[in-house]
Homo-oligomer: A and B are copies of this chain.
Amino acid sequence: MNTIWNTAFSQGSEQLISSAIRELLKITEHPSTISFAGGLPAPECFPNIELTVAAERVLANQPMSALQYGPTEGYRPLRGFLAERMTGLGITTSLEQIIITSGSQQGLDLLGKLFIDPGAVVAVEEPTYLGALQAWRPYRPEFLTVPLDHEGIDVAVLEKMLRSGKRPRFVYVVSSFQNPAGVTLSPARRQALIEMAAQYDLPIIEDDPYGDIYYGGVRPKPLAALDCELSGELRHVVYLGSFSKILAPGLRVGWAALPRELVGKFVQAKQGMDLHTTSLSQIIVYEVCSDRLLERHIPAVRATYHARRDAMLEALEQHMPFGINWTRPNGGMFLWLTLPDFLDAANLLNAALDLQIAFVPGASFYANGGGNHTLRLNFSHPTTTRIYEGVSRLAQAIQTLRNKTVREA
């Protein structure tokens, strides 16, 4: 037995877990399986022709910038573009406050490195984004979970925690069309949360990969924008953005909009992590953005996902038995389904896989356990036809599990 490396593991590495989702994706690759499990954008929506043209242009006109080592902060024109775009959303930032990351996942790991000591308290939504838990567990925080409802994180509960003396290093919020629950923090709660941040000097990490994928008429106003209004500049919020959902995830380009005091440390940490983000990807992204592709492309993504959400809601209404509840997201890629207490989502997954339908059991998204009767459904990747068929199979799996559970009771 080989234990040369195992005996040398750090305490943090003992906390590492595989993403249930990424493991599940491996067994759901078969084409006849309908998967609501992944968090994949619709590949039909990738602007691959525009990206190809941009890639050719970049490699032909500026191969040296695309192929040589680049600045840790990111490709300067892309940072400038993003500073303008952020400022347009009310997040008043200069180019210097924008740092490019290798996907927003890297931003999460980096912030964990900067702010989490073993035992440090970190406040997260319950349920929260699994990738954040994966990024932070090796730093061994104590997670303080704040419940979510249909208006997003329950700020009254958070305030009670703060009043009782809890002082989290930061509170982590996926503010719009949350992954996994599909809910959006209401305007009133956004305002309350920012005021709380100001009152308690509470740092906020706002993760907003889905903000542009709204189905109503208006993009929700980021917490970071409210912070700029209240504080005169970005002060309490680190805003994480991503091109994964609005262009293509395989490029691995995200960004952070940072309070000025944080820029230096953020860049130092990024240097040690990967020197810099792929230059080729960054310049391709800049090229298509400066061609105003986002203005043309994002509405198409919105329309596609909107239709798929409608299909899933309609199918759920039609097929789900009484006693099953779900959220009605106004954007994004996910909805959240709650089973009756006597049905366990992990058992349901087994029954579902027998019918070649997959989802992610909700327990994965709970930092401190729980959520056994919940599950996450993705509607951005499957086509509407497969959504109807998949929901029908899922309802069938629920019936099967319910009959079995009743029989065994």
Contact A5 B262 (CB under 8 A): yes
**Residues of B contacting A16 in the complex (Cβ-Cβ under 8 angstroms):** 265, 268-269, 272
Which one of A59, A136, A273 has the greatest number of beta carbons of chain B within 10 Å? Answer: A273
A290 to chain B, nearest CB (A): 19
Q: Which one of B48, B56, B67, B68 contacts A67 once the chains associate, using CB atoms below 8 Å?
A: B48
Contact A271 B19 (CB under 8 A): yes
A117 interface residue, CB < 8 Å from B?
yes
**Residues of B contacting A322 in the complex (Cβ-Cβ under 8 angstroms):** none
A242 to chain B, nearest CB (A): 11
A278 to B105, CA, bound (A): 13
- Closest residue on chain B to residue A262 by CB atoms: B5
**Residues of B contacting A368 in the complex (Cβ-Cβ under 8 angstroms):** none
**Residues of B contacting A63 in the complex (Cβ-Cβ under 8 angstroms):** 46, 48, 51-52
Binds B, one of A246-254, A333-341, A388-396: A246-254
| Also in contact, A68 and B249, with CB within 8 A (given A268-B17, A278-B278) | yes
A215 to B364, CA, bound (A): 53
A92 interface residue, CB < 8 Å from B?
no
Q: Which one of B43, B71, B113 contacts A138 once the chains associate, using CB atoms below 8 Å?
A: B113
A275 interface residue, CB < 8 Å from B?
yes
**Residues of B contacting A103 in the complex (Cβ-Cβ under 8 angstroms):** 274-275
A109 interface residue, CB < 8 Å from B?
yes
Contact B105 A275 (CB under 8 A): yes
Contact B272 A251 (CB under 8 A): no
A249 to B9, CA, bound (A): 30
Task: Provide 13 A-B residue pairs closer than 8 Å at the C-beta atoms, listed in order of the A residue.
Answer: A4-B261, A6-B261, A8-B203, A12-B117, A39-B69, A69-B249, A105-B275, A131-B272, A135-B273, A136-B272, A137-B272, A278-B281, A280-B284
Chain A residues proximal to chain B, CB less than 8 Å: 2-13, 16-19, 22, 38-41, 43, 46, 48, 51-52, 55-56, 59-60, 63-72, 102-103, 105-106, 108-109, 113-117, 120, 131, 134-139, 169-170, 201-203, 235-236, 244, 248-252, 259-262, 265, 267-269, 271-281, 284
- Report, nearest first, the 9 A-B pairs whose CB atoms are least far apart: A250-B279, A48-B63, A67-B248, A52-B59, A134-B272, A16-B268, A67-B250, A135-B272, A252-B278
Besides A52-B59, A138-B272, 10 new A-B residue pairs in contact (Cβ under 8 A), listed by A number: A3-B261, A8-B169, A9-B265, A12-B117, A19-B271, A69-B249, A108-B272, A131-B272, A134-B271, A252-B278
